């Protein structure tokens, strides 16, 4: 049985499409027919008709920064529950960070995830650790990672502090054209910090993390890139590719702008919670655990800098940094709370509420940041809307108003500050792997 989707707005930046369209997807998940404009796709009596009523079909969303906790911390999240949350949020694929227990620092961990992901409704890409156990001391086997399909490496949750080890990571990754994803943080400045260092941390009496901790590590890495490209990593070798995870400060954004202007292969991502909230939200929150993350919620000035960088194209990607934690790890004093929040199920709503509805960026740019750009940076195959191509798309109702409620979330953990917050825009379904999964409104 085929499915005919009609009455939709088809928005595909890669195909230069923004038009009314109908498309027919076979039972095996292949686009059998695509008609743009007011025409409709013909079917037969066995076909299912889905009238999307003006909702938007976009290339399947991809989140390049997630934590599903398996193996080792399945009480927080599993591959199955994380995938269910991703599908509910409109994502047809995610990339998983390696800081599980044990750390994914060898092909054995990659093979474990690939095996258990085979029957899940979304694609799981595995990011390998940069160093053994993410200790920042000995490089992980990048070449073996590549043979297992790994496309990026990261010690997310920490940054390599030893500059010589970081240099070797750049050189080793360049040999295999692997992307380096860096959690930029000078640990000596951030140690024991709970929230952004500023007036609100001082009033609360909580140790602050200065935003300079992010920019200092980033500046070191960019200087290494410049040196290596000049003296070693140039034709015929691959130049290093570097991606800044969850960027949060104006100083770091200025460094990225400069690096891009110089031609360095540098990209960066922002999370919805960083472009939505500030340290004042943590200050005013009665229960503070769900407002504690790394990097910490930034100042109002830095939040405005993030919005400006989203608008001018400096920031390439919106990624959730989906970080589930159990209730007891958040419902505790702030200085004991685990860092991070869930984000897959609220990402689209926050993006449309805070960015497109407020005129920061158009919806087409949001689609680039949520789908096209992360796939490009991760060197994944692009999604195209053409007959004979595999169907991989997300359905979004940009006008739907809804409120996240605990009972309706699919993640095993509920650590989000957005419960009860009115949002506009929601993913109402995904079509991927020959299945159409509708999300309840």
Please list the active-site residues.
321
For β-strands 208-209 and 195-196, DSSP reports them as parallel
Render 364-423 in DSSP notation, one character per residue: HHHHIIIIIHHHHHTTPPPP--STTSBP-EEEEEEEEEE---GGG--SS----TTTT--E
Q: How far is CA 284 from the centre of its chain?
A: 27
**What pairs with residue 423 in β-bridges?**
402
Give phi and psi for 32, each to the nearest 5.
-90, -35
3-class secondary structure per residue, 136-192: CCCECCHHHHHHCCCCEEECCCCCCCCHHHHHHHHHHHHHCCCEEEECCCCHHHHCC
Q: What tokens appear for 8 in the block?
A: 């939709």
- Tokens representing 437? 């999964």
In which residue are the tokens 């911390």 written?
73
Identify the helix (H) or strand (E) that includes residue 19: strand 17-25
Alpha carbons 422 and 349: distance in angstroms, whole number: 9
- Pick from 109, 126, 129, 88: nearest CA to 342: 88
In eight-state DSSP terms, residue 131 is B
Residues 6+ apart with CB under 8 A from 103: 109, 129, 132, 133, 134
DSSP state of 345: T
Residue burial 17-49, b: 16+ Cβ < 10 Å; e: rest: bbeebbbbbeeebebbbbeeeeeebebeeebee
The Cα–Cα gap between 18 and 422 comes to: 28
Following CA atoms 88, 90, 93, 98 in sequence, which dihedral angle do they give, to the nearest 10 degrees? Answer: -60
């Amino acid at each position: 049985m085929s499915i005919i989707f009609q009455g939709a707005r088809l928005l595909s930046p890669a195909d230069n499409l923004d038009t009314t369209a109908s498309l027919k997807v076979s039972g095996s998940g292949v686009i059998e027919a695509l008609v743009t404009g007011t025409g409709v796709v013909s079917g037969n009596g066995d076909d299912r008709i889905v009238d999307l009523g003006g909702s938007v079909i976009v290339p399947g969303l991809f989140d390049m920064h997630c934590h599903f906790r398996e193996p080792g911390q399945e009480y927080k999240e599993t591959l199955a529950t994380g995938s269910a949350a991703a599908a509910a949020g409109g994502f047809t694929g995610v990339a998983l960070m390696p800081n599980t227990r044990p750390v994914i620092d060898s092909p054995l961990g990659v093979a474990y995830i690939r095996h258990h992901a085979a029957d899940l409704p979304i694609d799981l890409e595995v990011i390998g650790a940069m160093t053994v156990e993410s200790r920042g001391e000995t490089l992980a086997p990048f070449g073996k990672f590549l043979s297992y399909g790994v496309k990026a490496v990261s010690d997310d949750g920490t940054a390599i502090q030893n500059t010589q080890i970081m240099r070797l990571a750049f050189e080793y990754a360049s040999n295999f054209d692997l992307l380096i994803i860096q959690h930029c943080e000078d640990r000596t400045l951030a140690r024991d910090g709970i929230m952004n260092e500023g007036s609100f941390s001082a009033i609360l009496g909580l140790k602050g993390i200065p935003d300079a901790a992010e920019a200092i590590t980033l500046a070191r890495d960019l200087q290494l890139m410049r040196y290596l490209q000049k003296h070693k990593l140039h034709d015929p070798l691959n130049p290093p590719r570097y991606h800044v995870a969850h960027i949060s400060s104006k100083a770091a954004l200025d460094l990225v702008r400069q690096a891009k202007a110089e031609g360095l292969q540098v990209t960066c991502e922002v999370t919805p919670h960083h472009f939505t909230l500030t340290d004042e939200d943590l200050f005013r929150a009665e229960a503070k655990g769900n407002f504690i993350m790394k990097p910490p919620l930034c100042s109002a000035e830095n939040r405005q800098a993030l919005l400006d960088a989203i608008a001018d194209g400096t920031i390439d990607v919106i990624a959730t940094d989906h970080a589930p934690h159990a209730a007891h790890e958040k419902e505790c004093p702030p200085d004991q709370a685990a860092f991070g929040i869930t984000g897959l199920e609220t990402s689209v709503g926050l993006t449309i509420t805070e960015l497109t509805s407020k005129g920061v960026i158009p919806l087409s740019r949001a689609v680039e940041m949520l789908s096209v750009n992360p796939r490009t940076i991760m060197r994944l195959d692009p999604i195209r809307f053409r007959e004979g191509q595999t169907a991989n798309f997300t359905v979004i109702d940009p006008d739907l108003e809804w409120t996240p409620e605990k009972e309706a979330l699919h993640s095993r953990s509920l650590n989000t500050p957005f419960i009860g917050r009115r949002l506009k825009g929601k993913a109402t379904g995904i079509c991927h792997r020959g299945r159409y999964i509708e999300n309840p409104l």
